[in-house]
Amino acid sequence: MEELDNQRVLDSFMGGALNLLAEKDDLNKINVFPVADGDTGSNLASLMQAILDRVDPNTPSVNMTLNSVATASLIGARGNSGIIFAQYLNAVARMFEQGEQNALGFASSFEKAVPEAYQALLEPKEGTILTVMRVWSESLYERFLKEGTLEKALIFAEKKAYEAVKQTEFQLSVLRKNQLVDSGAKGFYRFIEGFTDTYCNKEKKSVLTNRMSKPTMEFSEVEYLTEEPTHRYCSEFLLKDVQIELPFLKEHLQSQGDSLILAGSKSQLKVHIHTDRPQEVLKELETHGTITHQKVDDMLLQFSVTKQPKYKIAIVTDSIADLPKEFLLEEQIHVLPMNILNDSASYLDKYTIDSSIVHDKIKNNQKLSTAQPSIQSVDSLLSFLEDKYEEILVITVSSKLSGTYQLLKQRITARSMAQDRIVVIDSKLNSVAQGLLVETAVQAIKKGDSFAQVIQTVEDTIARCFIYVAVADIAPMVQSGRIPKGLGKIAQALHLYPIVSLSPEGEGKLSGIAFSQKGTEKKILKKVNALLKKDQIEALAITHADNAPKAQDVKKRLAITPANLTVNVVESSAAIAISAGVGCVAVAGIVKKEDNA
């Protein structure tokens, strides 16, 4: 039986990563499915860069190489295609470890890993990365059984994958309409193209190994504190190509917090700091180098929970839920940050980027997109919560708008967590409407309701929630795929401003139009005030994307005095600022039950 050369396998993974990275921009241009937001290339590139940066070039065995690649993929995975790819690579590593550790076992592990890649999505679709992944994996294994050599099997499987990519144009209507192949599918093909080329061309070995000569730097685990921290956030950043002398960088950062540590060199540097302003730390670091990875933990929340959880039930949500920061800390709400991406970096929503920073970056012509939380952040939080609470309730942004719901479900299954202890609810909402649903869950817990009663209350409330968004500029909604490009062009040509809402299924929809943002605000106020005057609203909230004066003005014009409601005005997540546009204002509420109306 053919044996495996670990260095050859390692170099082949690096060759695949480099080949995909070179195609990033082209992959972004053809990204129209599942949403035409032009970031599939960037999402896959994030995963590939993590492999290049974090896989140890000195791993002594194929088994360790596969595990190292799998771990790196969890850190770098972004977006649907990235999450699928990471699931696949992790399954490959596990299957290889459990089977024969030779060339046959190597080929077999790819084929056995395919079902787990399909499980990464709530509704897997053929004609996507999944199809090409399956075709390549099956072809590789079947050809190896016939030929007996990995080289021949790889060459054959690559050709089959190429044919499968071409066929994606005809498998999904949106691809057929645009005469494009699937972006994720093509990205996977570019990876295995580079993998095959490197494996079959040993001369590339030394070049790739030299690119990986930097030592790997890891983030620290959760810091267990015995005293209440002075600053709220433990922040860590990895930088490469630092353009300032380290003593001067240290001086620049000292005023931002304490526990400052700089480890490494100018070629690759790890920065650790306890701060109340991780966004400001990141702003400073961005001027001196390229940030490749970052991690921010809410130390005050972790300290208070470790000392004494306020409730027996943990509430978890994602950063798209717009809630006051004080409420999150007071009620011990755990938030998974969405990832905000641009061409060169990834940011953590509400921790290292907010709507004002989004505004600045857009003014500088930077293209931004969103992706669900990383697998690593999900696993880390679940691990922290497991032994501190009796039950865990997770309320996610609408599954029609993000893969977060499916990611949480998948990771809970992968960790074999008890299904009666942890429940994930698809809010079918976003922004402040999602935030109001989280508040409803907290109120039910405060009443002393059982876990089952809290779940029932949340599920019953979803259908009574509404949100109306007055956008300041329709272009971001067209660019993010929230409004079809054809309809968007017509609206832009006619200078129309839409009122955006959500359908009962949690999909974006148009609920009206006007000739100005002021006009959309007027229509929204008319809708909401009609309900207020009839005393039909039990909760109300307002959010804005870097437009506080406008949000306060909208609040003043709401007829909330008769209803005796407290209305919070909060800044929106960076994710909302990107999808709905900077300057937007949204009003969300919960309608009373009919028998209470």
Is residue 373 reached through a cis peptide bond, with omega within 30 degrees of 0 on the bond before it? Answer: no
pLDDT < 50: residue spans in the chain? 206-207, 210-214, 596-597
**CB–CB of 333/363 below 8 Å?**
no
For domain 217-302, give the CATH number: 3.30.70
Residue with tokens 């922004």: 431
Q: Please, where are the H alpha helices in 201-298?
A: 205-211, 246-254, 278-286
What are the structure tokens assigned to 574, written together?
């960076």
When the candidates are 3.40.50.620, 1.25.40.340, 1.20.1530.20, 3.90.950.20, the CATH number that belongs to 6-211 is: 1.25.40.340
The enclosing H or E element of 274 equals strand 268-275
Going from the C-alpha of 13 to that of each of 5, 31, 120, 141, 474, the distances in angstroms are: 13, 24, 22, 18, 41
Name the one residue in this structure whose structure tokens are 């960076």.
574
Q: In the CATH scheme, what is the code of domain 465-596?
A: 3.30.1180.10
Q: Which amino acid is at 462?
A: I
The dihedrals phi and psi of 257, each to the nearest 5 degrees, come to: 170, -155
* Angle between helix 129-147 and helix 79-98 axes, rounded to 10 deg: 30
Q: Phi and psi for 30 in degrees, rounded to 5?
A: -100, 10
pLDDT at 213: 43
Other CB atoms within a 10 A radius of the CB of residue 566 amount to 8
Amino acid, res. 236: E
**Selection from 368, 348, 319 nearest residue 39 by Cα:** 368
Distances (CA, A) of 294 to 102, 109, 285: 36, 32, 11
Residue 272, phi then psi, degrees to nearest 5:
-120, 130
| DSSP-based helix, strand, coil % in the chain, nearest 5 | 50, 15, 30
User: Helix, strand, or coil here: 465?
Assistant: strand
pLDDT confidence of residue 203: 60
Domain boundaries, the chain: 6-211, 217-302, 465-596
d(CA 519, CA 198): 59
Give helix 6-21 / helix 62-76 axis angle, nearest 10°: 20
- The C-alpha atoms of residue 19 and residue 287 are separated, in whole angstroms, by 29
pLDDT tens column, 308-331: 999 999 999 999 999 999 999 999
- Report whether 12 contacts 195 (CB < 8 A): yes
Chain centre distance of CA 367: 16
| Total count of residues recorded for the chain | 597
Q: How far apart are CA 26 and CA 209, in angstroms?
A: 26
Burial code (b: 16+ CB inside 10 Å, e: under 16) for 38-49 equals bbbbbbbbbbbb
Please compute Rg for the chain using Cα positions: 25
pTM over 0.85: no
d(CA 6, CA 559): 70
Q: List, in sequence order, every beta strand (DSSP E) within 337-390.
A: 339-341, 346-348, 369-371
Cβ-contact 88, 116 below 8 angstroms: yes
Measure the CA–CA gap between 376 and 391, rounded to whole angstroms: 21
Whether the CB-CB separation of 337 and 377 falls below 8 Å is answered with yes
Is residue 282 within 8 A of residue 252, CB to CB? The reply is: no
Q: Which amino acid is it at 507?
A: E
Name the nearest CA neighbour of 118 among 534, 410, 417. Answer: 410
Tokens of 508: 């974006």
Q: Rounded to whole angstroms, what are the CA distances from 570 to 52, 216, 327, 357, 358?
A: 39, 39, 11, 16, 16
Residue 385: predicted pLDDT: 94
What is residue 36's predicted lDDT score, i.e. its pLDDT?
Answer: 66
Torsion sign (Cα): 514, 519, 521, 523:
negative
Report DSSP state, residue 213: -
Kindly report the number of other CB atoms within 10 A of residue 264's CB atom: 17
Cβ–Cβ under 8 Å, residues 441 and 315: yes
DSSP, collapsed to helix, strand or coil, labels residue 47 as helix
What angle is formed at CA 221 by the lines to CA 381 and CA 338, rounded to 5 degrees? Answer: 40
Using DSSP's 3-state secondary structure scheme, residue 444 falls into helix
Task: Give the β-pairing of 391-396 and 313-318.
Answer: parallel
Phi and psi at 119, nearest 5°, equal -70, -10
Amino acid at 588: A
Note whether 306 and 331 are within 8 A (CB): no
Cα–Cα separations (whole angstroms), residue 16 to 20, 427, 572: 6, 38, 38
* C-alpha span between 236 and 242 (Å, rounded): 16
Close Cβ partners of 525 (under 8 Å, ≥ 6 residues apart) = 554, 557, 558, 587
